[in-house]
Every structure is written in structure tokens, then in C-alpha cells.
Amino acid sequence: MRPKFGKFVFAALALAGSAVSAGDPAVFAARHDADEIVGKDPLAAELLIRKAMARTHADDALRPWLAAALMKKGDLVAATAALDAGGFTPDGAGLGWRIRGQIALIEGRLPAAATAFDQALRFAPNDADLWVSIASLRFTSGQQVLAIAAADRAVALDPRNPGALALRGLLIREQYGLAASLPWFEAALQANPDQPALLDDYASTLGDMGQYRAMLIVARKLAEVDPKSQRPRLMEAVLAARSGQTDLARSILQRTGTMFREMPAAMLLSGVLEYRAGNFDLSVEVLEHLVRVQPDNIAARPVLARALAAKGDWRRLADLFDGDVTASRAGPDLTALVGQAWLHLAARESGDRAKQDRTRAQALMTLAATTRRQAAVPLASDGTLPVLAQHYAENPQGSANAVPYIRALIAGHQADAAQGVANKLRDQNTGNADARMLAGDVHMAHGDARGALAEYTKAAAIRFNEAVLVRMDAGLRSVGRGGDADGMTSRYLAQNPQSAVAMTLLAAGWAGNPARSRDLAVLRRAMLARGLAGAA
């Protein structure tokens, strides 16, 4: 069982090895050689350090390097045991504490990771790798603004550090878009061209941009440097799917086994492929699981709706997606599909119920035809309001309880109560885009489009994704700024050229505008090429 030490005991342990000299040339050489090979061959680095320990008996001086090699191997238990076995010399304490923090971060023990990184800063405040780890912790914790600051600090300390450049690229991708992130990944690969994680991030970004030939070239490079990785196969499946080769894509994806069973992107791909192959039950099974995990997944929801329609499950379709129409999360195609669901349900009913269903169907068909957009509000939350209120009362600090409670309050038309909870969550997480976005949702539910737009704008400055884009579009149009909405969406589409959501929003904005007729025709051809309904 892992010993439980307080931070002061840890600090004492860290300095306990200071009597052991790290100036021995053999120690210095072992550290240097381990640093050179640990990324590519952690097992060789481990054996090298163990031999140096046996030869020099300078265990405290080499302990952090042994733990680093073991962590790279994926053996977190052995890495922790190595750290716990003794102290560190002062010149190795920064690495020792950083490795301890990285292990805690991998295991999801975020407070322990923060404590370890604080200790590491005492010994190595200018270590770029440490600032990369701090940025990762902050991003995982939802502190997106602070994560950006830490990543900037890492790049400033070491402009050629591949980890710092790659992480800044990931944050740039979230903040500004796909195209803006490419130079950062390319700079990182120039510094370390054989790093599997870098190649993976770069290839994925190219694929998201629709640059599939370039993605495949990078994927093949990834397969060379990491033959055991299944990621290149996943990318090949994406390319086959984009080319319309459904059977080939399904075959490639199936050969990855269970590796990507819980990955949202792979789940969406699987659901689409099974739908194309006519396996509607399997498609619904995969996509319903994805929507449960990510209820705001804008790409998955319309595909699930089409799969439900294909298998004739009209009740489930209406139950799941009628709220999307009310919340303006449905494009014209999904709106029309929900209208069809109500028509089918009306045919099964009689009397007033059938009349109500037909009235709802007609309203949705009209809405689909006019592509009118309403103000965006968050999806309803699972669970009853009293239960969610109790969970929130027991632990009001975390978003896990606050977010579903706020959604339930909005769904229950208790906007005043929702505003108070949302504002508290926002103030506790000022650098978190999702907290800002939810506070804006409550303003929108109040009918305060300007207040909502102010929050959405702050969210977009932190993390500009499709969820923020939809809300910004609705907010701008609600205050009569349709031109600004179109301009914003055009810029987003330039950065993210494969975004179906941006295409749909822009097509709706340009419809009926004679000055945009030529642009609209080009856009609709692009939508048609992506198989988007409502493009014609």
C-alpha cells in the first residue's frame, strides 16, 4: 500500500538525499543518456539508470530519472515506488516532484498533482517541461485561461521544446481554430519529428480540416515510428468513409478492436458507417451511447435522429429531439425530421391527441421551410429537479452537480434561481468557457439576449467551438446583428472548413439575401459534397 505522506514530510524526503553528490561524472552521464533515449525507448533508459545506480550507489541522485523511465513505460505503480523509496538531491528534486505530479495527473488526482507541481517549482521554476505539465493540469481542471498562460510561459522558456509547442498548438486549436494551430504542430515536429503524440495531433488536425491526403502521409509516418499504434488505422477508416467506401471503412475500424470503443470521434464514425450500411439498430445503439456521454454533441444528434427514423422509432425520435428544435439546436433537416415523427405519431392516435400531434408537425414543417432560428438554450438535464437540487446542496462547488441542476431549473422555468447558481459557477471558474456559456444560456432563457451575448463573447475568447458558435449566432441575430453573425461564422468556417454546423448556420443566414446568392450556391455545393441534408 502506498505510504501517505504530508507535504512537509515529502519536502524532508526530497532534501534527504542532498548529502549524496550528484557531481560524479558517471551520474551526470547516466542522466544525460537517459534523457536522450527515454522518449523513444523507456525500457533502455530504465536499464541504463539501474546499472548506474548499482555502479555509483548514488540512488538519490538518479531516482527521478528511474521514475521518469518507469512512467514512460506506463508502469505508474513502479514509478511511484521508485519515488517513495528515498529522497532526491537538490538538482534532481524538480524532476522528482514533476514526475510525481505527472503520475497524479494521469491517475486523475488533481489536487495531489497541483501540490507536487508547486513543490517542483521551488526547485526548478524555469523548467519548460514543468510548465507544460502545469498547463495540462490547468486545462484538465477547466482553468483554460490559466492553462494558456502556463503554455505561453513554457514556450518563452524553451521556444524549441516540442511538448510546449504541441500543447500551445492544442490550446490554439481550441481558442482560434484548426488552421491557426497547424504552425505550432509543425514547429514541434521540426524539433522532434519522431514523436508519436505530435504526429497523432498533427494528423488529426489535418483530417479535421479535410486535408485527407496530408493526414494519410502523416498517419503512415506515425505507423513507422509507433508500429503498435492503432491510430493510423482509425485515420484510414475516416479517409475511406469520406471517400464513400463504407465497407472498407467498417472493415478497417473493426480491425482496431475495442481500442476506440469509448472515443467520441470513433463512436460517431462507427454510428455513421453502420447507418450507411443499413444496420440501423447497431447505429442507434452506438449513437445513443455517445449522446448519453456527450449530450451536447452537435454532430452526433442529427445522425442519431436519422437512424431512429430509418428504423421507424418515431416516438423515441420525438422524445429526444423535439427539445432540440425548441432550443434552436436543430437545422432545417432535423426540424423536418421531427415534424415527420409527429405526423407518424398522429396517425397512431385519435381525437385531441392526434390533432395536437398534427398541429405540432405542421408547425415544425413550416419552421423547417423558413429556416427560422430561435434563441439557444441548454438541453434538458436527466434527473428530477428535487434530486438534482439535493445533489447540488450537498456539494455546490463542483460543476458536476451545478450544471445539471442549472439545466433542470431552466427546463422548469425557474430562470431566476438558475441565474444565481450559474453566476456562482461562473465566478468560481472565471477562466472556463463552459461556465461562461451556461451563464449566457440562463440570460437567454430570461429573454436577455444582450446579457447572454456578453457571456458568450467571453466564452468564445477562451474556447471557440461549435457549441459557442451556435449560441453566438443566436445571440447576435436576437439583437438584430445578422451581418455580424454571418461574418463571425465565415471566419469560423475559414479556420474549421469541415464544420457542418458553421455551414448550416451560414446557409441559413445567407438565404434570401440576393447579394449572397453566388456565395450561397458555392456553400450549398460544399454542403452537398458532405452529404448534408437541406443543402439543396
- Report pLDDT digits (tens) over 495-518: 998 888 888 888 888 887 888 888
Radius of gyration, alpha carbons of the chain: 26
pLDDT per position as a tens digit, 432-450: 888 888 888 888 888 889 9
Q: CA-CA distance, 100 to 136, in Å (whole number)?
A: 14
pLDDT per position as a tens digit, 134-159: 999 999 888 888 999 999 999 999 99
| Residues with Cβ within 8 Å of residue 390, at least 6 apart in sequence | none
Instruction: Look at residue 480 and tell me whether its pLDDT is greater than 80.
Output: yes
Question: What pLDDT sits at residue 432?
Answer: 83
Instruction: Look at residue 222 and tell me whether its pLDDT is greater than 70.
Output: yes
The amino acid sitting at 347 is A
Q: CA-CA distance, 128 to 6, in Å (whole number)?
A: 27
Question: What pLDDT sits at residue 23?
Answer: 64
Instruction: Look at residue 17 and tell me whether its pLDDT is greater than 70.
Output: no
Q: CA-CA distance, 411 to 379, in Å (whole number)?
A: 8
Residue count of the chain, please give it: 536
Whether the CB-CB separation of 442 and 418 falls below 8 Å is answered with yes
pLDDT per position as a tens digit, 441-476: 888 888 889 999 999 999 998 889 888 999 999 899
Q: CA-CA distance, 99 to 79, in Å (whole number)?
A: 8
For the segment 79-86, the average pLDDT, to the nearest whole number, is: 94
- Residue 111 corresponds to which cell in the numbers above? 489536487
Give percent of the chain above pLDDT 90. 46
| Residues with Cβ within 8 Å of residue 343, at least 6 apart in sequence | 357, 358, 361
Q: How many of the other CB atoms lie within 10 Å of CB of 252?
A: 21
DSSP class of residue 533 equals: T
Instruction: Look at residue 369 and tell me whether its pLDDT is greater than 80.
Output: no
**Residue written as cell 446568392?**
517
Give the H/E segment covering residue 343: helix 332-348
